Amino acid sequence: MNRRAARAIAAALSFGLAGANAGTAQNRQPISTSLTECAVIYEEIATEGARRGAMSRPEIPELQENAQRFRVEALAQARREGRRDPKSHLEEETTRLTSKWDGRFANLLEIRNNADWLDYCRALGRSRGIVDR
């Protein structure tokens, strides 16, 4: 096996292992849903950060812009997955996932799982050119 192939396999494995809990959850849903979930997570962080005054002014719009980028990619991915009505599907998923994530970043019992999801979303976002860091 050449070095390039070895690096590609290592990168694929590291991406697949990013956030074990999140990765496990993601495996049970289409990528378009995972992208939508990441959008919801970024919005929730922005909302919670603004509410608590825990973030600087530039951080909140950056999170909101990243959330929008996840949504755009989710729509494109839903089309690639062959969804009949991708927009309606993602609107339903957004409603469901917003309910799931509402207030979760204020819950100390969810810290580890939240961190796993953030790691997963960052890796997914970087792999698709959505986020830089």
Stronger pLDDT, 23 or 27, i.e. the higher one: 27
Q: How far apart are CA 63 and CA 52, in angstroms?
A: 15
**Number of structural domains the chain divides into:** 1
Q: 54 lies in a domain? A: yes
Q: 119 lies in a domain? A: yes
Average pLDDT in the chain: 82
Confidence of residue 121 (pLDDT cuts 50, 70, 90): very high
**Helix/strand/coil percentages in the chain, nearest 5:** 80, 0, 20
Per the CB < 8 A criterion, the answer to whether 97 and 40 are in contact is yes
Q: 84 lies in a domain? A: yes
Q: 55 lies in a domain? A: yes
Tokens 């590291």 correspond to what residue? 14
Tell me which residue range forms the domain holding 22. 3-127
Per-residue pLDDT at 18: 41
Q: 133 lies in a domain? A: no
Confidence of residue 3 (pLDDT cuts 50, 70, 90): very low
In the DSSP assignment, the letter for residue 85 is S
Q: 32 lies in a domain? A: yes
